[in-house]
Amino acid sequence: MEREVVAALGKGEPDEILSSAFKLRVTRQDVHTLRKLCWLNDEVINFYMGLVMERSKKEGYPSVHAFSSFFYEKLTSGGYKAVGRWTRRVDLFDKDIILVPINLRLHWALAVIDTRKKTIKYYDSLGQGGDKICETLLKYLQEESREKRHLKLNVSEWTAHSMEPHEIPQQSNGSDCGVFICKYADYICRDKPLTFTQTHMPYFRKKMVWEILHQELL
């Protein structure tokens, strides 16, 4: 496994496709964002979210839908109309967990909608608040419910808030936010407590390379 990871992170054509699934292609250049202290790009984040979704089809896992990292920006710039068609083939309210990776230009964060608990939580490895993001997503859910189910969402049953820095693992450098949101997603979608720390990041980066190459989560 180590040999494969080293080879993928080594020299070669930047445009060489090392893995493709979920209508996505990951090139050597994309995989190189998993080198230590590099910022993960959209391709790696979206591919990893695809792997989390794929695993959720197995027995014993909560059902998961993950939006693309471009979803939230599209929602905020164009409103519900701009993203209404994104769920043509999926009933969000039939899923247990909905993942929304959020690209804040120089930082990655994750919003998690749990339809079982009726919660929207914002996970930020730098401890920044995202209450406004949670509110935007709750409004989106209201519109989605009205459009797709012709049902009014009972907002009073829902809670939406940012996770406090002491509640979730935090990064201590300026480059691991992407890995943090991938691991938040991984643990949350197994209903596991977030027990990892900054010290696990070099290992997680290597592990993610292998998982992307083999298109399966370990």
DSSP code at position 41: -
CA 78 to chain centre: 21
Instruction: From the candidates 38, 42, 107, 114, give the one annotated as an active-site residue.
Output: 107
Amino acid at 216: E
Strand-pair partners of 109:
102
Q: Cα–Cα distance between 67 and 106 in angstroms, integer? A: 19
Strand-pair partners of 159:
119
Give 214's contacts (C-beta < 8 A, 6+ positions apart): none
Task: Compute and round to an integer the Cα radius of gyration of the chain.
Answer: 17
Q: Cα–Cα distance between 169 and 179 in angstroms, integer? A: 11
Strand-pair partners of 111:
100, 122
65 is catalytic: no
Instruction: From the candidates 30, 65, 124, 186, give the one annotated as an active-site residue.
Output: 124
38 is catalytic: no
166 is catalytic: no
Give 2's contacts (C-beta < 8 A, 6+ positions apart): 206
Instruction: From the candidates 65, 134, 177, 186, give the one annotated as an active-site residue.
Output: 177
Which residues are known catalytic residues?
A: 107, 124, 177
